[in-house]
Structure formats: structure tokens, C-alpha cells
Amino acid sequence: MDDSPQSDRSCARDLARASSILADAAAAGHISLPAAQLAELVASLGLELHAQSPERAQPAAVELDLALAHTREFGLVLSAGPGGLDAAVPPGDYRRDRHSVHAVAELTDAADFLRLFRRTIACRKLEAQAGVRGQPLPAARLERCFDALLALAACCAEGTARARFTLDVLALRVVFAEGALAVAGARCALAPPQRRPHPRPIAKIDKLLHPGTLGIVGVSATGMNFARIILRNIVGSGYAKERITILRPGESEIDGVRCVEGLRALPGRLDLLIVAVNADAVYGLVDEIIATDAVDAVMLIPGGLGETPRSREAAAAMAARINAAHERPGGGPIFLGANCLGVVSHPGSYDSWFIPLERLPKPQKRPERNAVMLSQSGAFMITRLSQNPWLDPRYMIAMGNQTDLTHGDLLSFFAERPEIATIGIYIEGFRDLDGLDFARAVRRAVRSGKDVVVYKAGRTDAGAGGALGHTASIAGGYAVFDSVVRHAGAIVAEDVTAFDDLFYVAGALHATTIAGRRLGAISGAGFEAVSMADAIEVDGFAMEMGALAPATVDRVREILKAKRLDALVEVANPIDINPGADDEAHIAIAEAFLDDPNVDAIVVALDPTAPAVRALEESRLRPGHDLGDPQGTVHLMPPLVARHAKPVVGVVDAGRLYDAMCVRLMDQGVCVFRNCARATKALVRYVEARLAAASLRDPSTANPESPKR
């Protein structure tokens, strides 16, 4: 590529010409560019549009589809993938990133997008075709093409001075034949600019999470309705009654909490108002909240607002009034919900969920809670936390249908919070252009050292329809979401089980150091050792079994000799140390692997059913040979994990009889799974994300074959 000043001036002139062509077409009212202007636009990008398709003379030509397209959720997205007949193959028939790749235009550059494109089958075919002619991949030509498209995107981006129109799509059919790239077909369409709501004053999210004063509307004086359960949960969480006000006409107090007639009778401004009334009563109450400006943050619990055909018009009008209030000085109140389970804020000492505390206790599982869970579905959070309380979030926020606050708003807020290390998010759909805000926030969060784990419902048409009906979400295309959000830096889970594993492992291993992708695998059972080795590749990324240093081999042999297992075990990686190995052997060999400079992380299966392992709460056969024995794994492994910066994942692959062993280990901060393949896959995905995040913070560490995230 020519990097001379003259070349820079020429590129600037070409870009100005491209922008002018689009502006002139928009001013003339064109929706699609006429042929002459289209050819001129392509030429201004340094390309040439051929009237005759070169592939007609070259049957073996490789076709690519490149596109700069405006998406409802993410704005301008650059995409690249197979063209011609290959494009007709459904993306689902390919492994992840092998069909097409996508990136938010403002979050990539030409070299980065080329690294992303190298993952695709289209690029592999292009490289193979060039190789037939004894040529390398035309990387410089591709990079110039990507650079031109991204420069055009910068001129047309939402919010720029030229945003009198939106570049709806610029699609190029590119053919590689006779050793050259050529544009065999093009299409360009324009659209009116996409309108965005006013920015929400997201600094007020702090009032939502740490309210100094709190009000509740809808508490029954005689029955146990949702609002009264919420009141009892708040008080039961340690929030002082004197800081709570119930808005209830005709009552002086309920459950020892003072009541007032309504908003205009409040003795002072409220940080947070929780609204748990019938859906039909919400509309007027919201208008009063806006008019009085007596509240900074509002939580809308009721469902049925915008989720049914009958309510959508009224809910949209209410959202418009809330949006208009954000133009006022101070930005007006922020609203969480509607159809919202609420918030659990441990630092704020309150729990507004309407799930009784006896049904979902939230014990602290780590010395300092440093995780956040955001979810459109309250039930999603409840079931995740019920099954794995070691997720242990500092804050849990159910967003509902995003009448006001969005995914992008909340993630933007937490991306800047230094006390937060891991963020888990369940998404059903984005509001218009909020996916762009979300991707920007993912990038900021990851660059600041956080792990962001995301699961989006709606991978299939049926799933997308279910999401739409649940919280009035607008579910977009999953393939674009997956590619764009991973490129921004998030760890994207393909299903609920993967989300559980990845959010858990991110929280458990966040403080560890990941210097590479070399794995050490230890087990007392042959099938587990093989299963670990089989699970080291996930979605095209693979760890490798580290080659043990000679000193490590000698050290492990000495351990085995001391345990009289040397004649039964071959020292290798993975290693099957035999069911005769006791707790001490497992821990000593694990430490030898951790000390090896050729190993970056280990998975160790702890063999609870092995007779020599102290894994039972009480052993009738060998009294004292149980979890209480100081020589047992539950006593030896936590100090091992604390001594080493490298990731350690333990596996207890056995039934309920060994739940106590898992609980004891997990309570002491040891990352434990109940299946070795599942443990290894989660670790592999996490290592991939951590290495990508490191290259994002320091591009000099990036693998040339891997995209910068």
C-alpha cells in the first residue's frame, strides 16, 4: 500500500468525491444510485466496476460478497463472506466465523478486519486460488478495499455533519481471477437518517443502585401482594425503614413504614420510586412523576406494557413522553422496566425482587462481590442464581422491555466502575441503535480489564418470536449480533448452559494470569484425561497440550515413586495418575504442572470415587478418612490455587454424594466443574477471550491471524 503524502491527498480527494456522490443522490431523492453514479462511487473507492463479469471467462474464479450496511441495532456494519453459489449455503452449515464475518465499522480498521476475514472459508479459497498461480493472498489489495469502505462509513456514520441521509447498503460482488481482484457487480441504496431518542442521564443509575431514599407505590394494607413482598424484601435486606416512604392514600403506616397520600405529599425528593401497580394505572402515574420531577430513578414492575397488541400504542406514547423529559435541565427521571423484576443491590442494601427471600437466599460467596448480572428476563437471573449461587453478583438488574434504560445504558455505566470485574448479560433484543452503544461499551469494558459474558435469545426464528412476545423486544439477526459483539470483545455464549459456565469461570478466574494457550491436564481416570484432550478446540480456537519440561517429568516421577505408582503411570500430558493416587498425589502433581514454564493453565480431575481420596462427609469404612481430614483435597487445594497466578480448574465428576466436597472447595474460591469436558471447554473459551482482550489493550501482542477485539 502506498503510504506517501501524495497518496494520502489522493485518498482524501476520492473520499470527498464518494461522499459528494452520495449527498447529491440523496438531495435528488434517489433511493438507489443510478448506474453512472454507482460506477463513479466504486471508482472513487479505488475499485473498478466491470460491465462484464470476469468469472464468465474464468470458471474457477473465487467470488466474495463485501458489504457496508446499515443495521437497525448496530448502525454501519462491514461484512465479508462468500459470493456466488457459496453464498447460497446457509451460514448455519458453517462453523463460527467460517461463512461471513461482521464488525461495527467504527470499532475496526482495515488491518483488523483483514485478520477477521482470514478466518473465513472465502479467504481460504482466495488464498488457495492465488497459490495455484504461485502468488500470495492479495492481502494489500483487500486491505485497501476494506480501508476505503471504512473511510466511507466514517463519513456516513450516524451523528456526523452529513447525516442528512443514511447509507443503507453498499454491496460489492468481488471476483478474484487471473491473479487480480475486480468488482463484478455493485448495489447502493440510501435511506432517511435513523432517529435516536435523547440520551438518558445514566449518572442517575447510581441513584437506582444506591438510593438514599426510596418510595413504593402499590403496597396493599391488607394482603400480601407483589408490592408488599417487595417492601418486606427491602426491609429484610437491611434497608432502614425510616428511609422508605409508601405512597398509599388513607393509610398512615404499613408494616411500620410511613405512608403519604401521593407524590405531591412527599416530604422531600426521592432517589428511587418503585411502581408495582396495575398496568392501566401506570400511564397516569408516569405523567405525574414527570410533572412533579420529585424522583430521580423509577422502577416499573408491571407487565403488559407494550407486550400485547392492545397496549403497544399506549406504551409507545408513554415512552415518547419519558424520552421528551430527558431534554429538560437535569435530564428528568430515568425508568427501569417495564415488565421488570427489579434490582438486587448488595451495596445499596436492598432487594426489590418480588421473590420471597426464603425462596432465593443470596448468601455472600466471596470476600468481595465484583460481578454484575443484567437481564431482560428476571426468571433468567433467578434460575441461574438458584443453580449456582457462586456467581455471586454485586448487582442484579432485571431490565424488562427497555421503555427507557437500555442494555447500552447499563453496560456503559458499569464499564466505568472500577469495582466491577465481570459482567453477565442476557439479551432478547436491542432498541434502535442501542446495539451500537452496547458494542462501544463492551469495547470500553474489556479494555479496562473486565470480562463481559453475553447470551442472546433468538438464535432461531422460533426463538426470536418468543423473545419478541416476552418483553416487547425487537430481536435482530443472530449471526450479525454474534460476530459484532464478539469482535467488540465480549464472550458470547451459544446457550444457557454455556452462559452459566462462562460467567462462572470468568468470575472465578478473573484475577489469574493467562500468558498463553498451553494446557496441563491431570486425572486419575484414563477417560477423563482423553476427554480433556478432546475438548481443547472450540469454534476454531484451540489450546495445546503443553510439552512438559524435563525437570517437571523428573519431579512427577519422584511423586509417583513416593506413592508407589511409578510402575503404573507414564508421565505425559495429559496424565492418568491411576485411581490409586490419593489427595496429596493429585495436589503435588498439579503443583508440578503449574510450576512448569511450558504450562499456562491446568485442569485437574479430583477423582472423588477413588478409595484413597478424602471426598466423603463421613467414611464408615475408614473413619476419619473424609472431608475433615487436613490431608484432604478440600484443605490442600485452596492454598495451591492461592499460591499460583495461573488458572486452575478442578473437576468432581460424581453424583450428589460428593456435593459437599464441591461446596467446600467452591466456598474457598476454587473453580470446580462436575464434568471434565465441560470444564475444559469453558476454560478454552475463557483463555481465547482473555488473549484477545490482551491484544485489544496492546495491539502489538495480537496474532496476525486473529482479529483485534
CATH code, 622: 3.40.50.261
Within a domain: residue 39?
Answer: yes
> What are the angstrom distances between the C-alpha of 507 and each of 414, 451, 504?
15, 8, 5
Give the three-class secondary structure for 157.
Answer: coil
User: Are 453 and 529 within one domain?
Assistant: no
* Residues in CB range of 49: below 8 A, 6 or more apart: 38, 39, 42, 43, 183, 185, 186
Beta strands in 413-551 (DSSP E): 422-427, 451-456, 491-493, 518-523, 537-538, 541-542, 544-545
Q: Which residue has the cell 480433556?
A: 532
Output the nine-digit C-alpha cell for 327: 431534554
Tell me the residue type at 664.
R
User: Are 516 and 371 within one domain?
Assistant: no
Element (DSSP H or E) covering residue 81: strand 75-82
Burial environment of residue 283 by CB neighbours within 10 A (0 to 12, 13 to 18, 19 or more)? middle
Query: Which domain-ending residue is among 191, 224, 252?
Result: 191
> Rounded to whole angstroms, how far apart are CA atoms 424 and 433?
21
Q: Are 322 and 282 in contact (CB under 8 A)?
A: no
Q: Residue 610 belongs to what domain range?
A: 512-695
Report which of 382, 283, 356 is spatially closest to residue 275, judged by C-alpha positions.
283
User: Are 583 and 441 within one domain?
Assistant: no
User: Are 502 and 535 within one domain?
Assistant: no
Rg (CA), the chain: 29
Element (DSSP H or E) covering residue 141: helix 139-156
CATH code, 9: 3.30.470.20
Within a domain: residue 260?
Answer: yes
Element (DSSP H or E) covering residue 208: helix 205-209
User: Are 256 and 168 within one domain?
Assistant: no
Report which of 681, 583, 693 is spatially closest to residue 640, judged by C-alpha positions.
583
Within a domain: residue 709?
Answer: no
Q: Which residue has the cell 427521571?
A: 333
Within a domain: residue 486?
Answer: yes
Within a domain: residue 702?
Answer: no
User: Are 502 and 521 within one domain?
Assistant: no
What are the backbone dihedrals phi and psi of residue 613, each rounded to the nearest 5 degrees, phi first?
Answer: -90, 135
Query: Which domain-ending residue is among 491, 508, 525?
Result: 508
Tell me the residue type at 39.
A
User: Are 500 and 576 within one domain?
Assistant: no
Q: Are 432 and 72 in contact (CB under 8 A)?
A: yes
Element (DSSP H or E) covering residue 276: none
* Residues in CB range of 597: below 8 A, 6 or more apart: 549
User: Are 454 and 481 within one domain?
Assistant: yes
Q: Are 600 and 546 in contact (CB under 8 A)?
A: yes
pLDDT at 358: 84
Q: What length does the chain have?
A: 709
Query: Which domain-ending residue is among 475, 508, 541?
Result: 508
Within a domain: residue 643?
Answer: yes
> Rounded to whole angstroms, how far apart are CA atoms 15 and 18?
5
On the question of a cis peptide bond just before residue 467, with omega within 30 degrees of 0, the verdict is no
- How many whole angstroms from its chain centre is CA 378? 18
User: Are 404 and 260 within one domain?
Assistant: yes
pLDDT digit string, tens, across residues 615-627:
999 999 999 999 9
**Max Cα-Cα span within the chain:** 89
User: Are 450 and 584 within one domain?
Assistant: no
Element (DSSP H or E) covering residue 443: helix 434-447
Element (DSSP H or E) covering residue 69: strand 62-71
Q: Are 521 and 544 in contact (CB under 8 A)?
A: no
User: Are 477 and 549 within one domain?
Assistant: no
> Rounded to whole angstroms, how far apart are CA atoms 163 and 23?
9
CA 206, 207, 209: angle at the middle one, nearest 5? 65
| pLDDT average per 10 residues of sequence, the chain (709 residues) | 47 76 82 88 80 51 92 95 87 85 96 94 90 87 92 78 76 85 90 89 98 97 93 94 97 96 95 95 96 96 81 92 96 95 96 87 91 96 94 96 97 97 97 96 98 89 50 64 96 96 98 97 90 91 96 97 94 94 97 98 96 94 95 98 98 96 97 96 97 87 54
> Rounded to whole angstroms, how far apart are CA atoms 173 and 183?
6
> Rounded to whole angstroms, how far apart are CA atoms 89 and 469?
30
Structurally, the chain folds into a number of domains equal to 3
The CB-side HSE value for 59 (13 A sphere, CA atoms) comes to: 0
pLDDT at 475: 46
Where would I find the H helices in 563-627? Answer: 583-595
Within a domain: residue 700?
Answer: no
User: Are 236 and 182 within one domain?
Assistant: no
Within a domain: residue 707?
Answer: no
